[in-house]
Structure 1
Amino acid sequence: MGYPRSHSSGLSWEPRSRTVEQVHLRCTEGSLEWLYPARALRVVLEPNLSSTRHTTVCIKPASDFQGASIYVERAGQLHLVVSEAEEARLRHVSCFSTHTPQRVALFLQASPQRDISRRTASFQYELLSNQSAAGPDVQKMALVEVVRGSIQNVSHDPENHMSQVEVSGQKVYRQKNRIFRQDKAAGEWKGSIKTLLRCKVKKGAGDFLFTGNEHFGEAWLGCAPRFKDFSSIYQTARERGTNPCEFQFR
């Protein structure tokens, strides 16, 4: 599915109107740009899917996000996700679970202002699947990021339901962008991977195969089996002729 961009402008409303404009976005990822934020905007993420596997929504505000705050609706209550009051350097990807994966409502509340100077509240969004934490799966080897290495450190962000994993890699098999960079002096690859907090990633000894995708220009962890376990699964699938592709991991 494509990557849609939705635009809205607060200048189109009547000054005395209390109407909340509503926008429906039907793709699993995209972006919204609200020019001259005024009053409120309700954004309904309503992907046209029969599946209910998308149960996490992640939002990344633009670096120049201003003029509004973003809330998510849950059981008739609004919960703050992105605050305009935060400094730009503190704004990062925020994720939250949903109880109704086929319909998620965000509420953008414009900040009070005396003039109509240009402000833009824009953000990207993606709906993620729980299947990314399902465990070793040879079918996932077509994913963008494939790195073999160890976990050096893990930091958790309970408020945004995310963890950041610092990885020291022995080998990078595949990456789309230069997220992992090689320290030529040490001969190792260094990089950071994000994952959902519920994956419960912990620091510890071991040689892992990290696979995943890129979201918002960052690497997101899929499964991370120990390398010896992956090798066993891969070899078994190869002998049975059920693996979808050859993977040169040696």
Structure 2
Amino acid sequence: MMLEVLFWTFVFGLTCVAEAGVMGDQCDWAGSGLTSSSERGVTPVYLRCREGSVSWVYPRGALRLLFRPPLPADEREFRVCVRVIRRPDPPDLFLEGRLNHTEASQRFPVRLFVEATQRLVPLYAPDDGNPKELRCFRSRKGRAALYVEAEPEEGTRRREAIFKYEARPLVRRHYDPATADCRPCSEAELELAFCTSDLVSRGVFVGAEQREDLDTTQLTMRVTKLIRATAHAGDDRKEVLQPAEEGDYFRYDVDNNIEGVRHRARRSHNVHAHVHVPAACGAAAGAGEFLVMARRRLGRYSLVCAPRIQQWVELVRRRNADGTAHCTLQH
């Protein structure tokens, strides 16, 4: 409680002398505490997208993050979820021998507070005893602000606070692949998900693991045919899809046009992927082949739709025959 009171006094009592620093006005923000001349400075950062990331190297002082996602005029209130990154994520696609190959988790060097009426509400602290990397809060009167307070410096070693955020309206009036629930997808939703997902792949689920830190079930899928996998920073796709002898893999651009390059993967080193489902859905690995469609959320693939391959093949046949598909459907 004393820490919260002191921090509130620090932020609001010294507003007139707080440093502005570099302001963000975009989806992502990256900065360094070394550019601050005071450990009591507050840097305002304006995040005007529905999702993005914040990277703060050598954190000093504090950041004040103001979330202003683009929303329809009649959808004023929204929910923000923040995922602190305590260790680098594994690649989206990986060989069987590298399942969950990640570095050891590091202590997160900042504390997070949600701005409420005349007070700050703790959201995350490295020693709060809560293992969850994902923390969420709601806007108030169409506004949401998050204070990021650096922990005291410990020598000159490099420290970096990285987290991803996502802001979504509280009221959904149409199908949104990014926030799909546990129910099966309709045919219209399947088609939309195929055309817009970051990952589209045929595969077999070979394992399931409860991820308490993310409040999800992590499904491990063995890829049988890769249709689309959009790249992101740090994803070394070349290591995964090396030319070899068995098993064809076809890669597509995000607009669903064939690149014209055929890749193969050795049968003894099958390509796998992790796909996350909300823990409340009770998902588990099952027999049979599926057409898996997932969207990258907060750094990891989140499942949107996964029909059995027989159901999908029939839908593709009908949609391609009547010419009503929004994009070129494949199976």
Q: Would the TM-score normalized by the shorter structure come out above 0.5?
A: yes
1:211: how far off?
A: 1.0
Q: What are the equivalent positions in structure 2 for 1:61-210 lying under 5 Å apart?
A: 61=85, 68-71=109-112, 73=114, 77-80=121-124, 83=126, 94-100=133-139, 103-113=143-153, 117=156, 119-127=158-166, 131-132=177-178, 133=180, 135=185, 136-142=189-195, 143-177=197-231, 178=237, 184-186=266-268, 188-210=270-292
CA pair 73-229 structure 1, distance change in 2 beyond 3 A: farther
Aligned residue pairs, count: 240
1:197-225 Cα offsets, whole Å, 9 max, x none, are 34442222232111123457643322112
CA pair 240-185 structure 1, distance change in 2 beyond 3 A: closer
User: Which range moved further: 197-206 or 69-78?
Assistant: 69-78
The answer as to whether partners of 1:11 and 1:36 remain within 8 angstroms in 2 is no
Unmatched 5+ stretches in structure 2: 1-25, 89-105, 169-175, 232-236, 242-246, 248-264
Question: Match of 1:73, as an amino acid?
Answer: V
Alpha-carbon separation, structure 2, partners of 1:242 and 1:62: 45
Q: Which has the larger radius of gyration?
A: 2
- Partner of 2:307: helix, strand, or coil? coil
CA pair 200-25 structure 1, distance change in 2 beyond 3 A: same
Which among 278, 301, 314 is matched to residue 219 of structure 1? 301
CA pair 14-126 structure 1, distance change in 2 beyond 3 A: closer
The residue number in structure 2 matching 1:41 is: 63
What is the percentage of aligned positions where both structures have the same residue?
Answer: 21
The answer as to whether partners of 2:200 and 2:228 remain within 8 angstroms in 1 is yes
Alpha-carbon separation, structure 2, partners of 1:8 and 1:187: 41
Question: Match of 2:152, as an amino acid?
Answer: P
More strand by share: 1
CA pair 110-124 structure 1, distance change in 2 beyond 3 A: closer
Q: What are the equivalent positions in structure 2 for 1:232-243 lying under 5 Å apart?
A: 232-243=314-325
1:25: how far off?
A: 1.3
- Partner of 1:172: helix, strand, or coil? strand
- Partner of 2:305: helix, strand, or coil? coil
TM-score under structure 2 length normalisation = 0.57
CA pair 54-139 structure 1, distance change in 2 beyond 3 A: farther
CA pair 94-180 structure 1, distance change in 2 beyond 3 A: farther
CA pair 94-56 structure 1, distance change in 2 beyond 3 A: farther
TM-score under structure 1 length normalisation = 0.71
CA pair 72-180 structure 1, distance change in 2 beyond 3 A: farther
The answer as to whether partners of 2:77 and 2:138 remain within 8 angstroms in 1 is no
